[in-house]
Structure 1
């Protein structure tokens, strides 16, 4: 009853989840079929001492999940496109992956989506867009929005992250601040900071191509069911994936040279 008396502030930024609000020092989010698995993961991260994720508070009287609010900023800005920020993100992602050690690597309860063919190694975030990383003092501080988390490989989650942060995208689809970056140099910088092994560096672009193909198919299937996925598809998400894959085909050799 007390929660309904508190002021709810809508939180913007995500493409898929509607109805996310801030209430005091908490965030309320509509529950989904993956909520129990995500809560178990977040509790595991808390027990492991990982500071870069929200904490689970519980559920409210409206059936929404309650998480702690993580102060900071998200989205594209001058600070988020620096080399220092990219290094910080690689270190944070490595810390997160390491913190998932010991958590069951089963597919039960997680959201579906594209994936690697290799056996799962960690629980990947799988959606580290610029809107899902909290910055403080110009550095990545925390990861939010674990709705698409699932068992996968380290490299798949790295590829998913670099899709947005290198970025592996046609320049026509990049925001102005990301349009003229040296993508190859940023791939190497991220991999160096994370500690990506040589065998995985050699496979990174191949896996990026596989992910483009599978994410296109997965998004098209989700869009057919309507909702926000359909809106994203109608807004050109499929075409952007296709252009990114074509751009990768043209520039693969120069990008690979940076990695190996």
Structure 2
């Protein structure tokens, strides 16, 4: 037991989950109510041949009651290589491959973490939190996605919008990473949608769904913050204000986005 603790390396970068560590070639994560559904999804992805997600190792739970997943080597976060247009296009393709790999997985399983969503019937299991902290790059190419705690049945477009929230990014410039502060957001949205293969019909809904996502995310985050923990820290750190500024930015730039999309 003592030796095991010595070899645990804390992993940081996420906003909500505490206690994530690396042990050798595995990652240990706290369990949650969504863990059985997430493990079933990861096993489905493995069977489908999707290489961009962690594998469930052994029975999936260690002697301390934590999840045991394979470690995906590489780098995460916003860096010069990760904000390039070609990396954004690769990410659009990665998300499409992931969505396609979830086809055939039950969309009515119990245990999914609740969250904001589209009003339309779910089509896939979305990752729903594909922020820079949850995308793994190797040789400057995005190849893996981690932290499926917020995964849930949704529409393809809702997960696309959620990803673009971080990567276009759909945000007020004051809230963007410095490397993304002055980018052409409309052009980046177009690059991502082209790489994913978003249809013309769905592109016409993108701004509408983005606005819906902002409104509902605000309500969900405010509710979760009331119980404390990581959500409370995010809310205290200004998450609500950032969402409000993003909505205002979207209202001002809606026509520009449409011009790139339609």
What TM bracket, shorter-length normalisation? over 0.9
Deviations 1:22-72 (A, max 9, x none): 001100000000000000000000000000000001111110000001000
SS of residue paired to 1:134: strand
Is 1:11 equivalent to 2:19 in the alignment? no
TM-superposed CA distance for 1:4, in Å, is 2.8
What is the Cα deviation at residue 5 of structure 1? 5.7
Partners of 1:218 and 1:134 lie apart in 2 by 27
Aligned to 2:116: 114
| Map of 2:38 onto structure 1 | 38
For residue 123 of structure 1, give the secondary structure of its aligned residue in structure 2: strand
Q: 1:187 to 1:6 in 2, by over 3 A?
A: same
Q: Which residue of 2 aligns with 1:203?
A: 205
TM-score (norm: length of structure 1): 0.98
Check the 8 A contact 1:6/1:23 in 2, yes or no. Answer: no
Instruction: After TM superposition, give the deviation of residue 6 of structure 1 in Å.
Output: 5.5
Q: Deviations over 1:94-148 (max 9, x none)?
A: 0000000100011521001000000000000000000000001111010000000
Show CA shifts across 1:214-258 (max 9, x none): 000000000011111111101100000000000000000011110
Unpaired runs of at least 5, structure 1: none
Shift of 1:175: 1.1
Name the counterpart of 1:228. 230
Deviation of the 1:187 alpha carbon: 0.6
Segments of 4+ moved more than 2 angstroms: 1-6
Q: SS at the partner of 1:190?
A: helix
Alignment check: 8 A CA contact 2:76 2:134 kept:
yes
User: How far did residue 2 of structure 1 move?
Assistant: 9.1
Aligned partners of 1:3, 1:88: CA distance in 2, in Å? 40
> SS of 2:235's equivalent?
helix
Report SS of the residue matched to 2:68. Answer: strand
**1:155 corresponds to 2:182:** no
Contact 2:92 2:192 in 1 (8 A): yes
CA distance in 2, matches of 1:42, 1:217: 29
| Structure 2 unpaired stretches of 5+ | none
Q: What's the TM-score once normalised by structure 2's chain length?
A: 0.97
Aligned twin of 1:48: 48
Determine the C-alpha separation between the residues in 2 that align with 1:159 and 1:75: 19
The alignment partner of 2:50 has SS state of coil
1:1-260 aligned at under 5 Å gives the runs 4=4, 7-57=7-57, 58-106=60-108, 108-260=110-262
Partners of 2:37 and 2:109 within 8 A in 1: no
The whole-number CA distance in structure 2 between the counterparts of 1:3 and 1:244 is 47
CA distance in 2, matches of 1:225, 1:210: 24
Please provide the CA RMSD for this pair. Answer: 1.1
What SS does the corresponding residue of 1:141 show, helix, strand or coil? strand
8 Å Cα contact 1:134/1:143 also seen in 2: yes
